Structure 1
Amino acid sequence: MLEHLVCQVWCNASNDITCSNLLDRKFEIIYNAYSWLKIDVDVIYEKCKDLTDDDRADIREAFFVNNSISELCKGTLKPIELVDLPDVVTTHMTSLLKKFYTPLLDRSEVSGDKLEYYNALVGEKYKTCPCCGLVKMESAESYYREDNDHFFPISKYPFASVNFRNLIPVCEKCNKKRKGTKTPQEHNGVAYYGFEARNDIEVSVEIKNSPTLNYSKLQKEDVEFKFSEDPEKNKTWDYLFGIKERYNIEVRDFSFTELRAIKNRIYMNKEINNGNSYDTVLNFEIMNYELDKYNESKFLKVAFLKEMKNKPEWMAVYNKH
């Protein structure tokens, strides 16, 4: 319906035909149901009468390009920015298209229910935030559910305001506190597409050796990360969601607790442990965490414990007792 309004109605505006005469019958029902919507649609229609043929072509092209979310993420298409479009898009269309998402889309009789969409995705796929993997997503039963994020923000790409392919459930930290209105185009132009099937990104932790290294209180500069899959897309993800900084804090927060737990398993429960070595205990913990690796940041704990296996000085300390 939005495509119809933008491309077939506004981009065909003229003095020879009224706005209502161009409306599809289904959209006309909505148009007549909400006075605020009718007023805004009519105002924009009048503004669009002065558009040139090139202006109309530019708007149509922007609509289709900016709704090709997968291609935009891959970098095979570049989004068309508001600055390159006629003024009517910025001054009038954008504010109305924001209203298509809220409040219009909130009305289930109009276009479906955002809550049902969120609940279906979280119930089937997104137990933790798909952008950071750190935050547990609120379930369908919770009143305080997480956010639906416009990956390409409405304020910059209003034509994709109600495109569910542009709408991904994410945690509040990723959406409001990290990403905001940032886009891949501000970095290197490529990103992971939220609904694309792909391999998990494997995370590796490296603890940097230094004279001041203290495992009981790791510092920011002691911890580094490596990621599998696409390096350029990983950089974009880090730019959008602050991945390395947040992972660094997370690892330093749990590192001492994890090492103490390993120590307890080896020394304080010798009868249960049956004299297993430090390496054997680590392997057991890693295997256990990998069974449910996206719960309680266990994928980072796995990476951290694997790095501990590469620290012979620490294995020697534990094994000599």
Structure 2
Amino acid sequence: MWYFYNEFENEELEGLINQINSVFTNIFSAVVFEYPSWMNEIKLKSDFEEFKGAFELSQPEEREKLANAFSKNIQVENVCNMTVDPVSYEDLLNGSSEDFVRCVSILKTIQDYLYDNLLKLKGLVEKVGTLKNYYDEFRVESIEYVCPFCGIGPMLTSKDKFREAFDHYLPRSKYPFVSLLRKNLFPICHTCNSTYKGDKNPRDYGKVFYPFMRNDNDCEPVFTIRTGVIENIEITSQHFHDEVETWDKVFDIKDRIKNFAEDNLSGWMSNVTEAVGLYYVDLETAKNAEIERCKSNKMQDHKFIKKAVLEAL
């Protein structure tokens, strides 16, 4: 990633997610509990009741396996840094009883409902807002002009009618308990989401960036340019070598940045040569001045790529 998302508070959505996760915890703990009042008249409660019945009929080791999957899969940061291995639907179903297969099938229905339908219900929309509302907040609080995964694609603003899709970093089709989980849910540009990542599971490729890392991001593109031709690009980082490799495998970042730079190289150079004639300075002075201008708001107007290209000339 070229930059990390800022964590920000959203008490209403976080409270809703915590209530849902509490229902799962109570079912796994086999305690008597009451559903949140907002669930009483919606499909989700009947799905949970059906899930609870199938869970109780499953074998003890299967119940333990599912509770363990819940405990692991909600630890998105630890899954990303490979200190926790997530548990997939496939892992759960391997050698399972008929009751447990039914239990997992109902769980999948619940997970789909949570993301696809829950935040469209009128009562919850009034209290929590829609995913569009969440995107608008995300856009203001945490996005720097362009998609952090490619650094190229612009992101729809909070004033636009539509929003960018939220990516499930750990794919909801592969893993339970991650479909409505804030740490696993963030917007990326359409090209990254639909064309490159799709349903890829980043953990299949190695250690991955945790999108809400609190570390300083030192990822930089470095070009090799000879006689005006870009021959190569590398992404340097002292801290995130393994994450960079996975990032490139999933999103094809190096080729995309190289292609973008090639398309813009002549235009960026013309900016420099125009400054030579306008300010009566030599080419090197004009180039260094343009590099300095690229250091502020570096994600705006793709200045971080322009800077790297000019430094390689």
Question: Shorter-chain TM-score: what band?
Answer: 0.7 to 0.9
- Distance in structure 2 (CA, Å) of the matches to 1:134 and 1:197: 23
1:112 partnered with 2:128: yes
| Residue in structure 1 matched with residue 306 of structure 2 by the alignment | 301
1:126 partnered with 2:133: no
Instruction: Report if the CA contact (8 A) 1:136-1:295 is conserved.
Output: no
217, 236, 243: which one aligns with 1:227: 236
> Counterpart of 2:153 in structure 1: which amino acid?
V
- Distance in structure 2 (CA, Å) of the matches to 1:107 and 1:129: 29
The structural deviation recorded for 1:152 is 0.8
The structural deviation recorded for 1:121 is 2.0
Percentage of identical aligned residues: 24
The structural deviation recorded for 1:99 is 0.7
Q: Which runs of 5+ in 2 are unaligned?
A: 1-18, 93-99
- Distance in structure 1 (CA, Å) of the matches to 2:76 and 2:220: 26
216, 226, 242: which one aligns with 2:252: 242
- Distance in structure 1 (CA, Å) of the matches to 2:41 and 2:193: 33
31, 35, 38: which one aligns with 1:30: 38
| Residue in structure 2 matched with residue 197 of structure 1 by the alignment | 214
Change (3 A) 1:90 1:249: farther
- Distance in structure 1 (CA, Å) of the matches to 2:119 and 2:162: 19
Q: Which runs of 5+ in 1 are unaligned?
A: 14-21, 309-321
Q: Secondary structure of 1:149's partner? A: strand
- Distance in structure 1 (CA, Å) of the matches to 2:118 and 2:194: 22
Using the TM superposition, name which of 47-56 and 103-112 deviates more: 103-112
- Distance in structure 1 (CA, Å) of the matches to 2:122 and 2:135: 14
Q: Secondary structure of 1:291's partner? A: coil
| Residue in structure 1 matched with residue 274 of structure 2 by the alignment | 264
1:289-318 per-residue CA deviation (whole Å, 9 max, x = no partner) reads 22221012110000000001xxxxxxxxxx
| Residue in structure 2 matched with residue 255 of structure 1 by the alignment | 265
Instruction: Report if the CA contact (8 A) 2:88-2:176 is conserved.
Output: no
Q: Aligned residues, how many?
A: 283
| Residue in structure 1 matched with residue 195 of structure 2 by the alignment | 177
The structural deviation recorded for 1:239 is 1.8
1:229-257 per-residue CA deviation (whole Å, 9 max, x = no partner) reads 31100111112222112101111110111
* Root mean square deviation of aligned Cα: 2.2
Change (3 A) 1:253 1:234: same
- Distance in structure 1 (CA, Å) of the matches to 2:72 and 2:28: 18
The structural deviation recorded for 1:98 is 1.2
The structural deviation recorded for 1:25 is 4.0
**More contact order relative to length (CA 8 Å, sep ≥ 6):** 2
- Distance in structure 2 (CA, Å) of the matches to 1:191 and 1:264: 42
The structural deviation recorded for 1:23 is 4.3
Instruction: Report if the CA contact (8 A) 2:76-2:184 is conserved.
Output: yes
- Distance in structure 2 (CA, Å) of the matches to 1:226 and 1:304: 13
Q: Secondary structure of 1:131's partner? A: coil
1:70 partnered with 2:77: yes
The structure having more radius of gyration, on CA atoms, is: 1
The structural deviation recorded for 1:70 is 0.7
The structural deviation recorded for 1:208 is 5.0
Instruction: Report if the CA contact (8 A) 1:82-1:89 is conserved.
Output: no
Change (3 A) 1:31 1:125: closer
- Distance in structure 2 (CA, Å) of the matches to 1:62 and 1:202: 33
1:207 partnered with 2:224: yes
| Residue in structure 2 matched with residue 319 of structure 1 by the alignment | none
Q: Secondary structure of 2:167's partner? A: strand
**What is the TM-score of this pair, normalised by structure 1?**
0.81
**What is the TM-score of this pair, normalised by structure 2?**
0.83
